Amino acid sequence: METQLATFLAYSPLIGMVIGMGSAAAFLILYKANQMRQLRVESESSDTDDDHPTPTLYAQIAGILLAITIVEVVVVIIDIGTLLLIPILLILSAIKFGFVIGYYMHLKFDHKLFSTMFLGGLFLAIGVMAALIGLFGNFTLPSDTVLAESSSHEKHHLTHVDSPLMTVLGLSGSDDGHSEEVASDSSGSLTITSGESGVEFAFAPANVEVSAGESVQLIFDNKGTIAHDFAIPELGFAIESTDAGQSGSATLAVPATPGTYDFICSIPGHKEAGMVGQIVIN
Amino acid sequence: MHDENVGHATTTGLDNRKMLMWVFLASDCLFFGSLISTYMVMRSQSGVGPLPGDIFDILYTSVSAFVLLMSSLTMVLSLAALQRGDHKNTRIWLLATAFLGAVFLGGQYYEFTVFVAEGLTLSTNIFGTTFFVLTGFHGTHVAIGVMMLLSMYGASVLGKLPQSSSLNLELVGLYWHFVDIVWIVIFTIVYLIPS
């Protein structure tokens, strides 16, 4: 899975180029076809209904669209590998797109200005998409790669990451795969981070254990890009809102009775986005 | 330029309503483009499941993608019939298009129900949020399209859709095909690529 991700990363510029070139080609074809048609209209004067698509042609195109869809699904099911899969899928869907706008939406036979208007907006949209994805740099294939914990916090063992977190691209430095994480240690302090490896809305470790009755210094280290906080609502415990790159701490008096409690980021929406973990009292 | 549907003279010689529809569709590209890229950026940021690979059923979605593609065929056939002055077939194909659109919507409703049953809601994780917003927004487009198709059918039955105003049906057709091409993109990017 890690390798799949890496290949995808390596090929993402290529995919971008394929999309760009495909769109440019589609535009050229439409443009050219229009020019030719207009020339023909000028020379033939009136009778232009000749090159107008007939219902038979429409049905044939539907057949082609169906065939392409079947090929797409088959290609996905037989799993030819990410490297080929993505360019193939993008090209096939671009062809379908071209047939529908060219024939069904009549752009191929209509006035050039309509094509310019629509393709202008389409390219603008593709540009916006490229910019958004480039800015956030997170276009990745979902995989079951487990968040790799870089254990820079000396004293702590690593605990288990329970939820199937996914690695995000951009930060591919960690390649140690599945690592069991721990939480507590003898020194009585415990560090929980957020924003680890670029996953903004998750705690690492997401599962920690502490001993009943002891007092634990809880350190919340926010490695993300926005403010978060750390709270155990059922115990009335909280570390106040911590800005990106900052950390905060507070002492938790662990109850004497064993139990399991959720810890969350209490900023609205963050818990729902995945900032929830469990603290087990032994 | 001979045009059977000229409303009034324009500087471009093109009908303003048709130009408006194309500009609207171009702007809608930006709307969908933003939602699709948000989905692409965010879908792998979820700390909790379910995740795309857990719940997508490619074959099921392929069938609904196919239904929507075929509705584009019935749409052009309806328009071609009206342009020939064949009102009976115009209505038959219009109803077929609206029916296929409704089947697609029913399929989406069922899919959403299954996803919710498997624990994915708008607020489960950021994948759920971006997925439901994107596909729900598209579904809303389809629903509006079905209403437009049915009102065209009603107009035709009442004799208010003469051959001379086929442009009205053409505009509805443009909107309908656009909804179809958006699904072509969503189907590829959202459903096929993650698996």
Residues A52-65 have pLDDT tens digits of: 788 888 988 999 99
What pLDDT sits at residue A51? 61
Q: CB atoms < 10 A from the CB of B109, how many?
A: 11
Instruction: Return the SS3 of A45.
Output: coil
Name the one residue in this structure whose structure tokens are 């209505």.
B91
Contact state of A128 with B30 under an 8 Å Cβ cutoff: yes
Residues in A 247-276 with any Cβ partner in B closer than 8 A: 272-276
Asked if the C-beta of A104 comes within 8 angstroms of chain B's C-beta atoms, the answer is yes
Where among A136, A167, A201 does a domain terminate? Answer: A136
Q: Which residue segment(s) compose the domain that A272 sits in?
A: 189-281
Within a domain: residue A234?
Answer: yes
Within a domain: residue A150?
Answer: no
> Residue A181: pLDDT band by 50, 70, 90 thresholds?
very low
Question: Does residue A150 register a pLDDT over 60?
Answer: no
Under a CB-based contact definition with an 8 Å cutoff, are residues B25 and B174 in contact? Answer: yes
Structural domains of chain B ordered from first start: 16-192 (1.20.120.80)
The mean pLDDT of A261-280, rounded to a whole number, is 87
Residue of A nearest to B50 (CA): A164
To the nearest whole Å, the CA of B115 is away from the closest chain A CA by 17
Question: Does residue A233 register a pLDDT over 90?
Answer: no
What pLDDT sits at residue A207? 85
Where among A74, A108, A136 does a domain terminate? Answer: A136
The mean pLDDT of A73-99, rounded to a whole number, is 87
Within a domain: residue A148?
Answer: no
Same domain for A267 and A196, yes or no, is: yes
Within a domain: residue A33?
Answer: yes
Residue of A nearest to B190 (CA): A141
What pLDDT sits at residue B138? 97
Take residue A146 and report the two structure tokens written for it: 């487990």
Whether the complex's predicted ipTM is more than 0.95 is answered with no
Same domain for A131 and A49, yes or no, is: yes
Asked if the C-beta of A196 comes within 8 angstroms of chain B's C-beta atoms, the answer is no
Under a CB-based contact definition with an 8 Å cutoff, are residues B189 and B181 in contact? Answer: no
Same domain for A113 and A49, yes or no, is: yes
Comparing CB atoms, the residue among A55, A97, A164 nearest residue B184 is A97
> Residue A163: pLDDT band by 50, 70, 90 thresholds?
very low
What pLDDT sits at residue A22? 64
Residue of B nearest to A118 (CA): B26
Within a domain: residue A149?
Answer: no
Asked if the C-beta of A111 comes within 8 angstroms of chain B's C-beta atoms, the answer is yes
Give CB contacts under 8 A, 24+ apart, made by A170-178. A170/A137, A170/A138, A170/A198, A171/A197, A171/A198, A172/A5, A172/A6, A172/A9, A174/A148, A174/A149, A174/A150, A175/A2, A175/A148, A176/A148, A177/A2, A177/A145, A177/A146, A177/A148, A178/A146
Where among A111, A136, A161 does a domain terminate? Answer: A136
Question: Does residue A197 register a pLDDT over 60?
Answer: yes
Within a domain: residue A170?
Answer: no
Q: How far apart, in whole angstroms, are the C-alpha atoms of residue A128 and residue A58? A: 33
CATH number at residue A257: 2.60.40.420
Structure-model confidence comparison of residues A138 and B62, the more confident one: B62
Residue at B106: amino acid letter? G
- CA distances from residue A194 to A200, A222, A227, A276, B49 in whole angstroms, order as listed: 7, 5, 10, 10, 18
Within a domain: residue A152?
Answer: no
Q: Report the domain count for chain A.
A: 2
- Residues near A271 by Cβ (< 8 Å), separated by ≥ 6? A264, A265
CA B76 to chain centre: 14
B188 CB-contact burial (10 Å; exposed 0-12 / middle 13-18 / buried 19+): buried
Residues A234-254 have pLDDT tens digits of: 888 888 878 888 888 888 888
Contact state of B125 with A274 under an 8 Å Cβ cutoff: yes
Same domain for A13 and A128, yes or no, is: yes
Same domain for A14 and A80, yes or no, is: yes
Within a domain: residue A63?
Answer: yes
Question: Does residue A187 register a pLDDT over 70?
Answer: no
> Residue A132: pLDDT band by 50, 70, 90 thresholds?
confident
* β-pair partners for B37: none
User: Lowest-confidence range among A171-180, A209-218, B174-183?
Assistant: A171-180
The mean pLDDT of A261-278, rounded to a whole number, is 86
Residues in A 136-175 with any Cβ partner in B closer than 8 A: 136, 138-142, 144, 163-168
Question: Does residue A42 register a pLDDT over 70?
Answer: no
Question: Does residue A25 register a pLDDT over 90?
Answer: no
Residues of chain B with pLDDT under 50: 1-6, 195
The CA radius of gyration of chain B, in Å to the nearest whole number, is 19
- CA distances from residue B7 to A109, B19, B160, B164 in whole angstroms, order as listed: 20, 12, 16, 11
Q: How far apart, in whole angstroms, are the C-alpha atoms of residue A230 and residue A224? A: 13
Comparing CB atoms, the residue among A90, A124, A138 nearest residue B30 is A124
Same domain for A13 and A114, yes or no, is: yes
Comparing CB atoms, the residue among B29, B38, B76 nearest residue A122 is B29
